[in-house]
């Protein structure tokens, strides 16, 4: 979406996605996050979890990808940052996540670019928040 197509207060809801054990395994291997908490149910259960959990950064990446799938960032120039990132609950294999984003600020840069900030919340299948953050993007403007 172009800068002009977004207004403060606009809300965007993503589709839902199931987080699989394969997602977690692949992420752990790709990033080197080889931690038994992410890979072994027995280990995670000893720590009080119901089973192995997804790394928080994987949850962030999946929630970001869900936002991209809406077309929200088709006209992005740059991803400028993440603020106030909090992991609120664990995500386990088999959980379904989705995200809601709200435009919280806009700033024109010049005739070609503008900056838009979003507050977003990722939730699981029980509507329980699992992650929250504020993100800032530079978007193209319509000419």
Per-residue pLDDT at 143: 78
In a domain, 104, yes or no: yes
Q: How many domains does the chain have?
A: 1
Q: 10-residue block means of pLDDT along the chain (143 residues)?
A: 96 98 98 97 98 98 95 94 98 98 98 97 98 97 89
What gap in Å lies between CA 42 and CA 59, rounded to an integer? 21
Per-residue b or e along 80-94, where b marks 16 or more CB atoms closer than 10 Å to that residue's CB: eeeeeeebebbbbbe
Which residues lie across from 47 on neighbouring strands?
none
Does any domain span residue 36? no
7 assigned to some structural domain: yes
Q: State whether residue 142 is helix, strand or coil.
A: coil
CATH of the domain at 68: 3.10.129.10
Does residue 37 form part of some domain? no
Tokens of residue 43, six digits: 């280990």
- Is the four-CA dihedral 68, 73, 78, 81 of positive or negative sign? negative
Domain encompassing residue 9: 3-18+54-140
């Amino acid at each position: 979406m172009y800068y002009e197509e977004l207004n403060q207060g606009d809300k965007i809801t993503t589709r839902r996605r199931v987080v699989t054990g394969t997602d977690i395994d692949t992420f752990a291997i790709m990033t080197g996050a080889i931690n038994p908490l992410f890979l072994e149910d027995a280990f995670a259960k000893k720590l009080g979890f119901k089973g192995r959990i997804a790394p928080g950064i994987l949850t962030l990446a999946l929630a970001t990808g869900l936002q991209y799938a809406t077309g929200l960032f088709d006209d992005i120039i740059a991803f400028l940052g993440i603020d106030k990132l909090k992991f609120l609950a664990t995500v386990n294999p088999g959980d379904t996540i989705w995200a809601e984003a709200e435009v919280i600020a806009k700033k024109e840069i010049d005739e070609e670019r503008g900056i838009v900030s979003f507050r977003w919340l990722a939730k699981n299948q029980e509507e329980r928040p699992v992650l929250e953050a504020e993100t800032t993007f530079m978007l193209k403007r319509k000419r």
